[in-house]
Amino acid sequence: MIYTGNKALRFLSVPVYTIFKNLSIITTAYGEVLWFGGSVNPLTLASFSLMVLSSVVAAWADIKYAISASSEGASQASVSSLRTLNAGYAWMFMNVFCSSAYLLSIRKFTKKTNFSNWDSKYPKPYDNSKTTDLGQ
């Protein structure tokens, strides 16, 4: 997950990376629907649709720029920019898959072992009756 994220950042800008990283939320949610019996309500589905739309708009701007650069002249630089863009999107989709797989495997592990994080969420109050005050 970390490796593919770094490789994607090598080829994509940070805003485009961030927008596409939101797709891992969607794939994780649908993984939970498939493997854990969850559900997606209509408002969440509308939110996911807006996330996908923003990703398409971000990708469209990059693709449009790369195509316009290549249509002006089939130079080596324009072909190289298209290859860079394609490599960035490939790494980004691998990152989305790896991120979702990691989160779903952690969820499966916690469900399988009945792990509860109750003690770290709600620590016991500190009992200071057992301490001594050295200043007295």
In a domain, 131, yes or no: no
DSSP string, 36-55: H-----HHHHHHHHHHHHHH
- Please give the Cα distance from 97 to 21 (Å, whole number): 10
In a domain, 23, yes or no: yes
pTM: 0.70
How many structural domains does the chain have?
1
In a domain, 136, yes or no: no
Residue 102: domain span: 2-115
In a domain, 128, yes or no: no
pLDDT tens per residue across span 42-69? 998 899 999 888 888 878 877 777 667 6
Weakly modelled stretches of the chain, pLDDT under 70: 66-67, 69-78, 116-136
